[in-house]
Amino acid sequence: MTWDVHHLPRADGRTVLVTGANAGIGYFVAQQLAGAGATVVLGCRSRAKAEAAMTAIRETHPEASLRFLPLDLGDLSALETDSLGTHLDAVVLNAGVLIEGQDPDDQAFAVNHLGHFALTALLAPHLSPGARIVTTGSFVAKTAKFSAHEHDGKRAYARSKLAQMLFGFELARRGVFSVVNHPGGALDSLTPPHRGGLQPQRLLLQGKDSGAWPAVRCVLDPDVRSGQLWGPRLFGLRGVPREEPVRGILADTELAAAVWEQSVELTGLDPSAALLRRQ
């Protein structure tokens, strides 16, 4: 199927939860899915920010069907999934933090990886059969290592993204419809601050609206298969989404299984067991 990021297939009647939908790439994922007719649930830790995002989406899509789910990936104890009130056809695990300062390793791992790992298990009763779990990774994960405790914020971030991507592929191996995507290099808050008017990285990278394209395709394209990796076409940094080979550390099944077991131990939850019980 030819994929046109500006003419998406209709998604009326489908409901998609997007984590971190109030800003950045998550905002544009929500906007593009809402424009295609999906009901979008914005999973955000700030109601005010989610409402501002919903107002902005309605400026371009006045008919958008939007809802808010209070969600803090750093503390899921207050999560009220019953307020969802409907089954989800897809979940985009998009929210992410890059922590500079004390304990970047524990914090980035807890929010980016463990938060989404636990959320997936907690959402199990609310997922439609065959619902897609779409995990957002990063190209920096390909060079990440788990060797020692990490004190550098960027390396800790890369390690947390690797854990997320290994989770997405392992979830697929365990029989759940799970796809991994990465946005390439999308300018703004997780990228270096702009200096002056000249932004040479604009030539190589892209805006967050385009960074949303791979995740949107993973939700909507009927030809996307579980276990696949999708990213931008040009050097994996920018452009329209295409499928990428899963290789190197991303294809390390022993590492993925070890990260999975450790995550079960740390969260007390097992997403694949919870999801497969439902099928």
Question: For residues 193-232, which are near ligand NAP according to CB under 6 A?
Answer: 208
Total residues at the site for ligand NAP (CB under 6 A)? 32
Of 88-96, 148-156, 173-181, 228-236, the window that binds ligand NAP (rule: CB under 6 A) is: 88-96
Question: ∠180-125-30 over CA atoms, to 5°?
Answer: 45
> Applying CB under 6 A, which of residues 11, 16, 18, 25 lies at the interface with ligand NAP?
25
* Closest CA relative to residue 274, chosen from 72, 264, 94: 264
d(CA 181, CA 139): 10
Considering 28, 68, 117, 157, which one is annotated as catalytic?
Answer: 157
Quick one: tokens of 21?
């939908």
Please give the C-alpha separations between residue 244 and each of 227, 232, 247, 253, 254, in angstroms, as whole numbers: 11, 9, 9, 18, 21
Of 16-24, 219-227, 245-253, 258-266, the window that binds ligand NAP (rule: CB under 6 A) is: 16-24
The secondary structure of residue 7, as a DSSP letter, is: S
Nearest distance in Å: CB 279, ligand NAP = 27
3-state class of 87 per DSSP?
A: coil
> Applying CB under 6 A, which of residues 39, 120, 136, 181 lies at the interface with ligand NAP?
136
**Residue 163 engages ligand NAP in binding (rule: CB under 6 A):** no
Which residue, 189 or 262, is less far from ligand NAP as judged by CB? 189
* Closest CA relative to residue 43, chosen from 90, 82, 94: 94
d(CA 120, CA 123): 5
Question: For residues 46-65, which are near ligand NAP according to CB under 6 A?
Answer: 46, 49
Torsion angles phi and psi, residue 179, rounded to 5 = -125, 145
Let me know if 27 is a catalytic residue: no
> Applying CB under 6 A, which of residues 191, 199, 253, 279 lies at the interface with ligand NAP?
191
Catalytic residues: 157
Interacting residues toward ligand NAP by CB under 6 A: 19-20, 22-26, 44-46, 49, 71-74, 94-97, 111, 136, 138, 161, 182-183, 185-186, 188-191, 208
